[in-house]
Amino acid sequence: MKIAVMALSGGMDSTSLLLRLLREGNTVYTIGFNYGQKHIVELSRAQDNIDYLSENGYKISHNVVDLSSLMSMFTGSLTSNEDVPKGHYEEQQMKSTVVPNRNAIFSSMIYGYALSLSKQFECNVSISLGVHSGDHAIYPDCRPEFYQSLNEAFEKGNWDSENVNLDLPYIDGDKESILRDAIVSCEHLGLDFDTIFANTNTSYDPDEQGRSSGKTGSDIERILAFHAIGRKDPVIYQQDWQQVLDHALSVEKEYMDKIYREKLTELQYQVTRNSATERAFTGIYDKHFVKGNYYCICCNHLLFSSQSKYNSGCGWPAFHSESVDANIARITDNSHGMVRIEVKCSKCDAHLGHVFEDGPKEYGGERYCINSAALIFKEE
Ligand SMILES: [Zn+2]
């Protein structure tokens, strides 16, 4: 028998993790924590999913631990009268949503439970955690190194700890890849993805009916993840999906714009974010013919290899083809009284330049005319 223990918060990550563990054939034991959180609706949503899974033949042993009397005394906007901040999830103001030592407290309990199950069933037990690389610097107790240290301490402080191991299946993933994993699990298990995710809560400030405003950092991150996988979030918001999506996209754009302003030179910013063009024969990569790769200056996405670069004499770096996985976006550009095809980074929407039909015939006849300011070169 494969036994896995996990915390089921009722959010996206832990719900996806539960589906994954079922897909892998585990017998799953889950714990929910009532820590006096304002978004306690997440626990009833988790129960709705436990019931839905049970109706479909997947029995989960689920228990809710009440820590509210203790943790309601903790500081932080999730458990006190303080308002939950709105805005981007990586902004410093989101620090108020940190609950002191929360994951250490939860992990201690899960570890004790896992050890007990391993004794009861005389087998190894996995503790599964949904932590991932997209977890943010403001939550230090989501970092993998924290869990590794904690695990070492638990191993030292218990007998038979070799029977319990730590499993971090999402460690290299992000919210988008976690949702994609959940789609695979639902198909495998014969479950309805929308029913499952309608029974989750990610918001820190749901109203009395459990509807999210779509405006806290965690909401925005969730909305963008659903948008990235091309689906409408089935959870109910206070506004319709298009409104919450537009808001999330504008918050993300504003946040990224701040980052680009800090990271880029004025020329790089104007070219990539405002579709400006550097003056001909002035770019650093125009006459640059060194073996290596050219990446997007904004997001480091691989765009071109030096193997496709040639001297077109036009005054800007010219490439006859893009890298295999570059996926450069093409948009009809009617500006300046001309009809041209604009090319943009598919990952971050940075303006790169244009593509023309006067390239070398032996490579397909295209010329990518790219601003040096949109690129960063790395030698091979
Ligand atoms: Zn980019």
Ligand 1 centroid distance, CA of 304 (Å): 12
Residues of the chain with CATH 2.170.150.20: 282-379
Residues of the chain with CATH 3.40.50.620: 3-199
Q: Which residue has the higher pLDDT, 147 or 306?
A: 306
Ligand 1 centroid distance, CA of 272 (Å): 9
Q: Give the CATH H-level superfamily of domain 282-379.
A: Peptide methionine sulfoxide reductase. (2.170.150.20)
Ligand 1 centroid distance, CA of 40 (Å): 39
The CA distance from 184 to 178, in Å, is: 10
The SS3 assignment for 72 reads coil
Ligand 1 centroid distance, CA of 349 (Å): 6
pLDDT value for 90: 64
Look over the chain and give the mean of its residue pLDDT values, rounded to a whole number. Answer: 92
Closest CA to 197 of 237, 231, 234: 234
User: What is the pLDDT confidence band of residue 217, given thresholds at 50, 70 and 90?
Assistant: confident
The SS3 assignment for 170 reads coil
Ligand 1 centroid distance, CA of 374 (Å): 9
pTM of the model: 0.84
Q: Which residue has the higher pLDDT, 2 or 93?
A: 2
Query: How is 207-275 classified by DSSP, letter by letter?
Result: -TTS-B-S-BHHHHHHHHHHHHTT----S-BSS-HHHHHHHHHHHHHHHHHHHHHHHS-HHHHHHHHH-
Ligand 1 centroid distance, CA of 240 (Å): 30
CB within 5 A of ion ligand 1: which residues? 296, 298-299, 301, 345, 347-348, 350
Residue 94, pLDDT above cutoff 80:
no
Ligand 1 centroid distance, CA of 354 (Å): 15
* Region for 281 from its dihedrals, namely left if φ exceeds 0, alpha if ψ lies in -120 to 50, beta otherwise: left
Please count the other Cβ atoms lying within 10 Å of the Cβ belonging to residue 148.
12
Residue 80, pLDDT above cutoff 80:
no
Ligand 1 centroid distance, CA of 83 (Å): 35
User: What is the pLDDT confidence band of residue 180, given thresholds at 50, 70 and 90?
Assistant: very high
Closest CA to 143 of 154, 133, 153: 133
User: What is the pLDDT confidence band of residue 201, given thresholds at 50, 70 and 90?
Assistant: very high
What would the pLDDT profile of 339-351 be if each residue is shown by its tens digit? 999 999 999 999 9
What would the pLDDT profile of 356-375 be if each residue is shown by its tens digit? 999 999 999 999 999 999 99
Residue 238, pLDDT above cutoff 80:
yes
What would the pLDDT profile of 113-161 be if each residue is shown by its tens digit? 999 999 999 999 999 988 886 666 677 878 888 888 999 999 999 999 9
Q: Which strand (E) or helix (H) includes residue 368?
A: strand 367-370
Please count the other Cβ atoms lying within 10 Å of the Cβ belonging to residue 265.
10
User: What is the pLDDT confidence band of residue 91, given thresholds at 50, 70 and 90?
Assistant: low
The CA distance from 237 to 211, in Å, is: 5
pLDDT value for 97: 74
DSSP 24: T
Sheet with 375-379, strands from edge to edge, namely: 302-305, 292-296, 375-379
What would the pLDDT profile of 29-78 be if each residue is shown by its tens digit? 999 999 988 788 999 999 999 999 999 999 999 999 999 998 888 877 77
Ligand 1 centroid distance, CA of 226 (Å): 20
Ligand 1 centroid distance, CA of 288 (Å): 21
Q: With respect to CATH, is domain 3-199 assigned 3.40.50.2000?
A: no
